[in-house]
């Protein structure tokens, strides 16, 4: 939509910064080392490259400034005159002309010194020519420093200008200061223009946007204009005059009928007649504002004649399609404070502007190119019967039923209004409860009853669970009654067994008491494994003494503890003895198996539960899922081939995506000098 975006203009650096930027770039992006021993052609090319590169950087930056700043003769007249009002186009053109001249001078300096460098006969002379060329270029930039600073100020101010499209649908608001223009634009758009009760609060153009009939309209708020000669108007007033002169817009001339703005209706009418030439061929609406303070009907007769005279002039400025004056909707009244008539004024302005733009396009030659694309279909009547538009009876009946149902149903809002309104009426959340009786809905439910949480006892199956618990309780009582008939009195035990039983119970009670004492004194520690028992507290001999003290035979328990280690030692000893006697033969004289071999087979079967050796690669183990050894060997081969590349890359698995550091810093971080061991 916006054709001119001044916010994208590149920042203009000051003269000193301009030089620093270009020279530092030349130093960074061109070779910097040269020796006397180089050939003279190499020396010349070295310094010629420096000069050409510097010239190119200056040329690019100066060309960017010239190209990005708008040319006043090429842009829309509205922007051209606005820039002239704000900055004086003579100074503006002079600054850009100096930039262009400096660009040409720098190019000429570069060309001359490159021609001289072609005939340089030594390193010293080539260097002097380079220094002279760069020095002259920098001197030229220093001389245009004020122009660069002036253009930077203009760039900053232009970036703050509103984005106005001169060709779109526009509504322009004008009038004396403090008549309500900014209040009106704040009402109909989302613009936030400062509103104060004194004149010239608005010092520049402000833009907002509004919609009418699905079309976007641009609304421009202009600063106030005073009734005085053209040459006496200041820059703020000239912004409004420029907008009125160049924008094809619907004009809203605001008139303060109350006189609270500080100017009488006669003064405002004089301003209208002095600038009415700017309203020619534009939709014009005279808006009588602040009718809340002074109604339009209550004006004095003299003021009313002035208002009517303005209305006649407004009707003459806008001609209808037939060439006759059109005064429909020319004079409207509103109040921005009470919003009375604000929307009517906006709609009238948008409608008049839309009609005027349509008429203009219909009168243009472009309409002939598109008129053949339109076709208006007019249906032909098939008989003389009239068929006015109507609504079917079924639809009317459905609407009546729906409205009746809506009237019968009372909402919570209706109940609230009937019972005292907000803050007094509280909606009941229980009236939709589904209970056996509606009288229970408003009952107060206790949460704590007799010190118990009531919700813990709420259960739908409470009676069924109670019956089940009673049955279980009766079954348990019957079982206890049967067991009570049999009492263990110890009459069947011998005197020795009775003594052992009493000793065991006494020992058990002592152990329980000892455990409780340790637990109470925070000495409850984990049991120490037997292999870490350095003090030999938990040995088989101690266990035997304790069992003997209780009157039990400890031999079976001791044999069970020592059985595994003794069996291992015995097997080793028997195996070594048999090997020495038989000389390693596996068969005896009678052709039977060697006893030592039988012993080894037996010991192997006994120790197989402890550990088994890995089977050969081709041997099939039940549960692996191979039908024969060939299939197993093939599977092993495929598995090895699949991991070959992974192993070669030193990856831990298929999901290893680690990228190794091929050049560790501690090995490739630079050279070390003589006598230094630290790596940098």
Q: Where are the domains of the chain?
A: 6-157, 165-364, 543-580
- The burial of 229, by beta-carbon neighbours within 10 Å (0-12 exposed, 13-18 middle, 19 or more buried), is given as exposed
Identify the pLDDT of residue 469: 87
Structure tokens at 602: 């037996």
Q: To which H or E segment does residue 287 belong? A: strand 284-289
Long-range CB contact pairs, 488-492, < 8 A, 24+: none
pLDDT value for 276: 83
DSSP bridge partners of 288: 255, 333
Using a CB cutoff of 8 Å and minimum separation of 24, what contacts does 211-217 make?
212/346, 212/347, 212/350, 212/351, 212/354, 213/350, 213/354, 215/169, 215/350, 215/354, 216/168, 216/169, 217/169, 217/170, 217/171, 217/350, 217/353
What is the Cα 443 distance to its own chain's centre? 51
The pLDDT of residue 567 is 55
pLDDT of residue 365: 78
Q: In this predicted structure, what is the pLDDT of residue 591?
A: 43
pLDDT at res. 678:
61
Predicted local confidence at residue 500, as pLDDT: 82
182 contacts 220 by C-beta, under 8 angstroms: no
- Burial of 664 from C-beta contacts in 10 A (0-12 / 13-18 / 19+): exposed
Quickly name the fold that domain 6-157 has. Answer: 1.20.120
Q: What local confidence, expressed as pLDDT, does residue 584 receive?
A: 45
Q: Do domains 6-157 and 165-364 have the same CATH topology?
A: no
User: What residues in the chain have per-residue pLDDT under 70?
Assistant: 1-4, 317-329, 406-408, 481-491, 521-538, 564-613, 670-673, 676-680
* pLDDT at residue number 64: 93
Q: Which pLDDT belongs to residue 133?
A: 95
Q: 165-364, what's its fold?
A: Rossmann fold (3.40.50)
The Cα 131–Cα 38 span in angstroms is 19
How many Cα atoms occupy the beta-carbon half-sphere of 216 within 13 Å? 9
The helix/strand/coil state of 604 is helix
pLDDT for position 119: 92
Residues across the chain: 680
Torsion 341-344-350-353 (CA) sign: negative
Is 254 within 8 Å of 179 (Cβ atoms)?
Answer: yes
């Amino acid at each position: 939509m916006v054709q001119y975006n001044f916010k994208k203009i590149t920042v203009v650096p000051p003269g000193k910064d301009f030089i620093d930027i270009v020279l530092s770039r030349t130093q960074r992006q061109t070779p910097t080392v040269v020796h006397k021993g180089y050939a003279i052609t190499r020396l010349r090319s070295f310094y010629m490259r420096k000069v050409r590169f510097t010239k190119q950087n200056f040329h690019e930056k100066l060309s960017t400034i010239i190209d990005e700043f708008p040319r006043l003769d090429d842009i829309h007249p509205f922007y051209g005159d606005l820039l002239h009002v704000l900055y004086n186009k003579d100074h503006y053109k002079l600054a850009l002309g100096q930039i262009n001249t400096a660009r040409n001078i720098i190019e000429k300096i570069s060309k001359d010194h490159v021609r001289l460098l072609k005939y340089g006969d030594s390193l010293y002379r080539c260097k002097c020519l380079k220094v002279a060329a760069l020095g002259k270029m920098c001197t030229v930039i220093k001389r245009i420093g004020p122009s660069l600073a002036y253009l930077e100020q203009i760039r900053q101010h232009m970036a703050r200008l509103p984005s106005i499209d001169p060709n779109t649908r526009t509504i322009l608001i004008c009038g004396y200061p403090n008549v309500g223009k900014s209040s009106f634009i704040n009402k109909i758009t989302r613009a936030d223009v400062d509103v104060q009760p004194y004149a010239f609060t608005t010092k520049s153009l402000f833009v907002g946007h509004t919609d009418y009939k699905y079309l976007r309209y641009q609304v421009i708020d202009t600063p106030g204009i005073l009734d005085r000669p053209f040459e006496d108007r200041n820059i703020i007033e000239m912004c409004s005059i420029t907008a009125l002169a160049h924008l094809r817009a619907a004009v809203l001339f605001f008139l303060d009928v109350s006189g609270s703005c500080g100017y009488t209706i006669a003064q405002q009418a004089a301003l209208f007649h002095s600038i009415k030439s700017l309203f020619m061929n534009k939709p014009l609406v005279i808006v009588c504002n602040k009718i809340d303070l002074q109604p339009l009907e209550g004006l004095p007769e003299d003021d009313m004649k002035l208002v009517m005279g303005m209305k006649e002039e407004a009707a003459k400025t806008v001609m209808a399609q037939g060439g006759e004056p059109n005064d429909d909707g020319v004079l409207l009244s509103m109040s921005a404070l009470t919003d009375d008539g604000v929307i009517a004024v906006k709609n009238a302005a948008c409608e008049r502007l839309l009609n005027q733009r349509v008429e203009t396009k219909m009168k243009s030659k472009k309409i002939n190119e598109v008129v053949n694309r339109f076709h208006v279909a007019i249906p032909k009547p098939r008989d003389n019967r009239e068929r006015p538009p109507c609504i079917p009876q079924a639809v009317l009946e459905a609407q009546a039923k729906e409205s009746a149902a809506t009237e019968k149903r009372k909402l919570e809002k209706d109940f609230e209004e009937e019972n005292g309104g907000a803050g007094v009426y509280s909606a009941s959340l229980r009236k939709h409860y589904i209970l056996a009786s509606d009288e229970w809905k408003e009952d107060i439910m206790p949460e704590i009853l007799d010190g118990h949480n009531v919700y813990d006892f709420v259960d739908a199956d409470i009676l069924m669970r109670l019956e089940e618990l009673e049955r279980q309780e009766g079954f348990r009582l019957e079982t206890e009654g049967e067991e009570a008939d049999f009492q263990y009195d110890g009459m069947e035990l011998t005197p020795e067994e009775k003594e052992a039983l009493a000793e065991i119970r006494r020992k058990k009670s002592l152990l329980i008491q000892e455990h409780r004492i340790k637990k109470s004194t925070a000495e409850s520690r984990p049991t120490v494994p037997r292999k870490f028992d350095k003090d030999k507290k938990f040995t088989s001999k101690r266990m035997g003494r304790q069992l003997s003290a209780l009157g039990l035979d400890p031999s079976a328990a001791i044999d069970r503890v020592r059985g595994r280690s003794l069996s291992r030692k015995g097997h080793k000893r028997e195996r070594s003895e048999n090997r020495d006697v038989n000389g390693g033969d596996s068969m005896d004289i009678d052709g039977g198996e060697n006893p030592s071999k039988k012993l080894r087979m037996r010991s192997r079967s006994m120790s197989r539960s402890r550990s088994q050796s890995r089977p050969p690669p081709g041997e099939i183990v039940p549960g692996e899922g191979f039908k024969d050894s060939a299939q197993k060997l093939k599977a092993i081969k495929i598995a090895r081939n699949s991991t070959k590349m992974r192993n070669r890359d030193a990856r831990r698995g298929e999901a290893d995506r680690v990228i190794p550091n091929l050049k560790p810093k501690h090995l490739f971080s630079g050279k070390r000098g003589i006598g230094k061991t630290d790596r940098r």
